[in-house]
Amino acid sequence: MSPHIAAAREGVHIDVALLHQRFERLSECADTVVVEGAGGFCVPLSTTLTGADLAVALQLPVILVVGLRLGCLNHVLLTHEAIEARGLKLAGWIANRIDPAMGEPEANLAFLRQRLPAPLLADWPWQPAQFNLDRLPDA
């Protein structure tokens, strides 16, 4: 679910300034800090803030995960525009083969390699579910 909905359900306010402060503290203790977004670059964090606002506050390069399926080219091109419009750098992208029935995945990858000014960092293969939630032990 979207972070803003999850936060509202838990009665939590996502504070970008606090996240920035915590990021700075973590950066003092580590060589590298990876900040993972959930739900996409412009996903709402609150009624007024988005994941893009967090990326701008942290001034980090962006790695874009592309779910290979119908519509992914539009998604990638629009997201790349949004990243550039905010003055951020697209550091790379990952192809995630989420639809084993997608038509012409290689042609889509070739298009993205030509259009994106960043390297393909990984091509993640389709992996059917490794476990069944119905077979998990009761908590």
86 lies in some domain: yes
133 lies in some domain: no
For residue 130, pLDDT beyond 70: no
For residues 44-60, give the mean pLDDT: 94
The larger pLDDT score, comparing residue 96 to residue 139, is at: 96
For residues 129-133, give the mean pLDDT: 62
- Between CA 77 and CA 29, with CA 49 as vertex, the angle to 5 degrees is 90
135 lies in some domain: no
Domains: count for the chain: 2
For residue 38, pLDDT beyond 90: no
Distance separating alpha carbons of residues 55 and 7, to the nearest angstrom:
19
Token pair 């951020």 is at which residue? 88
The reply to whether 50 and 98 lie within a common domain is: no
132 lies in some domain: no
The reply to whether 35 and 65 lie within a common domain is: no
The reply to whether 66 and 121 lie within a common domain is: yes
The reply to whether 52 and 11 lie within a common domain is: yes
